Amino acid sequence: MKIILLDGGLGNQAFQYIFCRFLEENSGDVVYLDDRYFFNEQKTHNGYELNKVWNLKPNLLSEYFDADVWDEILKITKEDMHIIDFLNANGLNMLGVSEGSMLSASCHPPHNKPYKSVECNGYHPDIAKFPGNVYYYGYWINGNYFKSLLDKIIVELTFPKFDDDSNKNLAGQITSCSSVGVHVRRGDFVDLGWALSPGVYNVAVPQFKMRIKNPVFFIFSDDITWCEENRKSLGFERSDEIVYVSGNKGENAFRDMQLMTLCEHLIIANSSFSYLAALLNRNPNKMTANPTTRLIV
């Protein structure tokens, strides 16, 4: 039995799902996603979205146990015990595998030590072959997992058709011009000190203007007002054609990712959201400005 932590927003959930599919294909074991995070009243983002956005139905740990046992797991692991310790106490002999030190830094870290640690955001195909019961703790944001399952994942992560005029019109605009999707992640990234400086975009935007005839820039952000106010520092001039994409919020926020997959070219952020959009964007001639070392395939 293999179990993978599932948490975070849509981008993180998608990469954990892709890693789940990688394990299924390469381990021969049954793989479950540990969805306890989405039973937490303090959860952020838009809750569990794999089913809502892509109608995916992976094995969930919450569905493996009877309801009363699951309630007990939620209570115990919230208060004073890591899920690995709980499973070990119940005879599963679970090995922990962690990206970096994430497992030891988690709330109520497991006593089952030593655990195996691997580089964060790296590609580790060998860990699919670990024998026995294994709990994988991380985000597994690496394009090689995606690439190894490309034909299957592209189908599984097919977005539903647009059901509103605003996004239908935007999709029409994007596909009928030399579109450049620009993702500016703000929100919690600002509080965490992870937000890219405007200078990163100020370097990338002029390069696209030099290489593309009559580009139209479509700005996607969780803070469109900030983008409008900082247009110049982001590298845009008054003569540039810009469309600020707004309105896709809450449970419809995934539509921004969907629209980015339609753009001819992309300037992405250091975010799993726009990184996934770049991977799902299958324009063979796309240029991607990528501020990270993550693989674009």
276 and 229 in one domain?
Answer: yes
120 and 28 in one domain?
Answer: yes
199 and 181 in one domain?
Answer: yes
Residue ranges of the chain whose pLDDT lies below 70:
41-44, 112-114
* pLDDT for the residue 43: 60
112 and 11 in one domain?
Answer: yes
CATH of the domain at 181: 3.40.50.11350
| Tokens describing residue 161 | 């058709």
Query: Which H or E run includes 132?
Result: none
Residue 294 lies in a domain: no
Q: Beta-carbon neighbour count of residue 296 at 10 Å?
A: 16
Residue 296 lies in a domain: no
What phi and psi, each to the nearest 5 degrees, are found at residue 41?
Answer: -65, -20
Distance CA 24, CA 235 (A): 44
Residue 71 lies in a domain: yes
Residue 11 lies in a domain: yes
Domain that includes residue 190, residue range: 160-289
Maximum pairwise Cα distance, the chain: 67
71 and 13 in one domain?
Answer: yes
175 and 145 in one domain?
Answer: no
| Tokens describing residue 186 | 């703000």
* pLDDT for the residue 79: 83
Q: Contact, 213 vs 138, CB < 8 A? A: no
* pLDDT for the residue 163: 95
Residue 297 lies in a domain: no
Of the three residues 153, 173, 202, the one that is the final residue of a domain is 153
237 and 165 in one domain?
Answer: yes
Collapsing DSSP to helix, strand or coil, 291 comes out as coil
201 and 114 in one domain?
Answer: no
Beta carbons within 8 Å of 191's beta carbon, 6+ residues apart: none
* pLDDT for the residue 206: 97
* pLDDT for the residue 106: 77
Distance CA 223, CA 269 (A): 13
Residue 27 lies in a domain: yes
Of the three residues 120, 153, 186, the one that is the final residue of a domain is 153
* pLDDT for the residue 110: 79
Residue range 231-266, pLDDT digits in tens: 999 999 999 999 999 999 999 999 999 999 999 999
* pLDDT for the residue 18: 98
Domain count across the chain: 2
Q: Is the pTM for the entire model greater than 0.85?
A: yes
Residue 263 lies in a domain: yes
Distance CA 9, CA 14 (A): 9
Distance CA 199, CA 289 (A): 13
272 and 136 in one domain?
Answer: no
- Using CA atoms, how far residue 103 sits from 81, 120, 133, 199, 251, in Å, is 13, 12, 16, 34, 30
33 and 124 in one domain?
Answer: yes
Q: Contact, 10 vs 253, CB < 8 A? A: yes
Of the three residues 153, 185, 220, the one that is the final residue of a domain is 153
136 and 41 in one domain?
Answer: yes
